[in-house]
Chain A
């Protein structure tokens, strides 16, 4: 068996991203789900008009925030989902495949966030 010091794993780095993503998701997502998922669709709150939302999203700080929040929250979810699937369904054997799908999905989402905020808006 290899000694613990001879092997470097990305695990601590992933853990850092995991907790940062958890904090960001906890702080920001509830109010946004309430607004865009429930209150606006049910007509409790008027939808923001297009010009206002466009102006808010085009602000450099908002672009940065959208990228940061999406990337971190997705990495958080990917890391959690990887182990949930493996523990709940006892699929440890397929860790390589499951990890690739989870983190790959998170990276794809982060790339989409960068493209949308910096390229498309």
Chain B
């Protein structure tokens, strides 16, 4: 243990790119960076709502903009990050939430199965709502 005075004047220097040195740190950073693409896609969704509010011509304009190859490329990357977010967040659930049923702890695998089943239901519902 160092004294408060020592702690104040002695600072360990951490390299700026500390997270690039180990695979596990880099994975952690990628997972955290997924938030950028979550935010980006929410903005895209709000642009869709705005286009629909403005009328059929604006909606067509939105579809054309989304079909731009550069925008598709960005959205493919966004998809990869959004999936990374979804998988890492789902896998966290059994650790964040301990479910007890009739005095017994429900196994983590069962909770995980429930999470993925719920995800499937939401996905199919949204597909039906938008396209069906």
Contact = CB atoms under 8 A, between A and B. Distances in A.
Interface in B63-96: 63, 66-67, 71-72, 75-76, 78-79, 82-83, 85-86, 89-90, 96
User: From DSSP, what is the main secondary structure of chain A's interface residues?
Assistant: helix
Contact of A80 (B35, B53, B119): B35
A83 B119 CA distance: 27
Given A37-B66, A41-B66, A84-B29, A117 B49 contact: yes
Contacts of B118: 27
A107 interface: no
Contacts of A77: 35-36, 38-39, 42
A109 B32 contact: no
Q: Classify the interface of chain B: helix, strand, loop or mixed.
A: helix
Contacts, number: 151
B50 A45 contact: no
Contacts of A35: 126-127, 130-131
B35 A81 contact: yes
A45 B71 CA distance: 17
B52 interface: yes
A41 B33 contact: no
25 contacts: A23-B89, A25-B86, A28-B126, A32-B130, A33-B75, A36-B48, A37-B76, A37-B78, A41-B75, A45-B131, A50-B52, A53-B52, A57-B52, A66-B49, A73-B42, A76-B35, A77-B36, A77-B42, A81-B32, A83-B32, A84-B35, A88-B32, A90-B14, A109-B39, A120-B50
Interface of B: 14, 16, 19, 29, 32-33, 35-36, 38-39, 41-46, 48-50, 52-54, 56, 59, 63, 66-67, 71-72, 75-76, 78-79, 82-83, 85-86, 89-90, 96, 118-119, 122-123, 126-127, 129-131
Contacts of B119: 26-27
Q: Which of B35, B48, B71, B122 has the most CB of A within 10 A?
A: B35
A40 B63 contact: yes
B114 to A, nearest CB: 13
Interface of A: 19, 22-23, 25-38, 40-42, 45-48, 50, 53-54, 56-57, 66, 69-70, 73-74, 76-78, 80-81, 83-84, 87-90, 105-106, 109, 112-113, 116-117, 120-121
B39 A116 contact: no
